[in-house]
Amino acid sequence: MRLARRKALAAASAATLGAGALVGAALPALASAVGPESTYIVLAPQGRSTDKAAARIADAGGTVVANYTQIGVLVARSTNPAFETAVAGSGVDAVASTTGLGTALEDSTTVEAADVTAPQASGDPTGEPLFGLQWDMTQIDVPQAHAVTTGSSNVIVGVLDSGISSTHPDLATQIAKDKSASCLGGVVDTTEAAWNPTTSDHGTHVAGTIAAAINGVGVAGVAPGVKVASVKVVNDDGFIYPEAAVCGFLWAADHGMQITNNSYFIDPWEFNCRNDERQRPVWIAVQRAIRYSQNQGVLNVASAGNSNVDLQHKFVDSGSPNDGSYPVEDRTITGACLDLPAEAPGVVTVSATGPTRMKSYYSSYGQGVVDVTAPGGDTRFRNLGTPSTLSDAVLSTTFNTTTKTNGWGYKQGTSMAGPHAAGVAALALSAHPNLQPAALASWLERTAEALPCPSGVYNPVPKLVGFEATCTGGNRNGFYGAGEVNAYNAVQ
């Protein structure tokens, strides 16, 4: 899924506003015009009250639907076509429409139902009916880790994604329902139906990798003793909008989640450029939300992306925007452009490996960008690109959104690598509960198993075009960061 390349493969309250000062003599005329309703991110000066910004929104003919006073970010809706001009002034640092800034969640891999007609298993993860197909768990020493701990129920991992099936037999006991919510539109809805999946089972698959129960059914998660919370940020059309992502980070931070998993990027342009006038307010809002969550004790884990690009160096992005809002254009990506949230400061960025512990052909990479790597699957390496081998993808929990039935199936992507790292972080925090986010991130890196750079130009799929890559660095390098996460090392 591009919720991480375009994957795709990354608490608010409604406010009633009183009258505020008029922006100027021309404002009533601006506000009286009517167009289609649009959503806007409005930035107030950080560290100061949002009251002035809220008043200006009202005067410009808008309505505040979410007011994140913690970080000075408001989400507004308006039918005033001149809203961005009208709302500008004292108390507002910047404003941007989020129209066209929805990122498509891409479920590009095949999902195949798996046979679970096996005898009931014991508490040993290797006894789960489908564990023999989970090469990813043995690769990072999950069985050995479970002999030490399966994780603490006090640890909660927020899955910022497309929702989690609350009826799945491998997940029903694993979900912190009281901490789950939908953030669609930037507005919190805690009803169970709101945070369940509607059009994509990506979040259900991610959740299973993190915490599928050891219960004699299906698969085992990396940390089955911890809880996951569904924080839904993907709407029914399969898009992630900035206001939903900001809401998700704040909801997780304010509701006791110590870790979040983010397998997506924000903005239909895969790289958000802070020197772009339109994108800059979104970049600032997301940065504020991430910093706030970190200050509240949250470690954010994000997928590196599935574009096979070197995130360290500038290049030309020829595949954005991806949502049809604007013509696809070539943009030179420089250091001013970041893949959010993966490249935000303090976020643990995860690349993907396959069953050979080599970089997956699709995984993005970059010296100084990738922190660790983890199994994400690689269905192409066996046959040099084609045909694919489904069993080399990652097996986890699924939900058929058409028939509304639960199951188990395969997906691949850095979206699948991220939850392995998040699960290992959850095990580490269970074993070492005093670790703060920065220390936990450092521990994840220190306990990873270093993987060397392949020599020369790396291309495991020569039958396909455009997947060459060159690794730079030593024990810590652009393909794997500090190395592949290891569950057993992390709980020592």
What tokens does 82 get? 């001149």
Which candidate in 146, 168, 202, 255 is catalytic?
A: 202
Which candidate in 162, 165, 182, 415 is catalytic?
A: 415
- CA 220/CA 138 separation, integer angstroms: 11
pLDDT value at residue 273:
58
pLDDT value at residue 21:
31
Q: Pick from 379, 339, 401, 394: which is nearest to 463 by CA?
A: 379
What tokens does 158 get? 């927020």
Residue 442 annotated among the catalytic residues of the structure: no
Residue keyed to tokens 């995130």 = 311
What tokens does 438 get? 């920065």
Which candidate in 136, 141, 161, 392 is catalytic?
A: 161
- CA 467/CA 168 separation, integer angstroms: 36
Q: Is the Cα dihedral 361, 364, 369, 373 positive or negative?
A: negative
Q: Strand 259-262 and strand 299-303: pairing?
A: parallel
Contacts of residue 27, defined as CB under 8 A and 6 or more positions apart, other chains included, come to 59, 60, 86
Model confidence, pTM: 0.87
pLDDT value at residue 283:
80
Residue keyed to tokens 């990652």 = 394
Contact, 416 vs 394, CB < 8 A?
yes
Residue 161 annotated among the catalytic residues of the structure: yes
pLDDT value at residue 247:
97
CATH superfamily membership of 27-100: Peptidase S8 propeptide/proteinase inhibitor I9 (3.30.70.80)
Domain boundaries, the chain: 27-100, 125-490
Which option is the CATH number for 125-490: 3.40.50.200, 3.90.180.10, 3.40.50.970, 3.30.450.40? 3.40.50.200
Q: Quick one: which H or E segment has residue 192? A: helix 192-195
pLDDT value at residue 340:
64
Contact, 195 vs 182, CB < 8 A?
yes
pLDDT value at residue 286:
87
- CA 168/CA 233 separation, integer angstroms: 20
- CA 76/CA 38 separation, integer angstroms: 8
- CA 222/CA 301 separation, integer angstroms: 15
- CA 408/CA 414 separation, integer angstroms: 19
Mind listing the pLDDT tens digit for each residue in 441-489? Answer: 999 999 999 999 999 999 999 999 999 999 999 999 999 999 999 999 9
Contact, 460 vs 384, CB < 8 A?
yes
Q: How many CA atoms lie within 13 A of 328 on its CB side?
A: 8
**273 DSSP 8-state letter:** E
Q: Is 420 helix (H, G, I), strand (E, B) or coil?
A: helix
- CA 89/CA 27 separation, integer angstroms: 12
Query: Which residues in the chain land under pLDDT 50?
Result: 1-31, 108, 110, 117-122, 267-270, 319, 322-324, 326, 328
What tokens does 353 get? 């490996």
pLDDT value at residue 200:
93
Contact, 413 vs 303, CB < 8 A?
yes
Residue 432 annotated among the catalytic residues of the structure: no
pLDDT value at residue 137:
98
Between CA 68 and CA 76, with CA 73 as vertex, the angle to 5 degrees is: 95
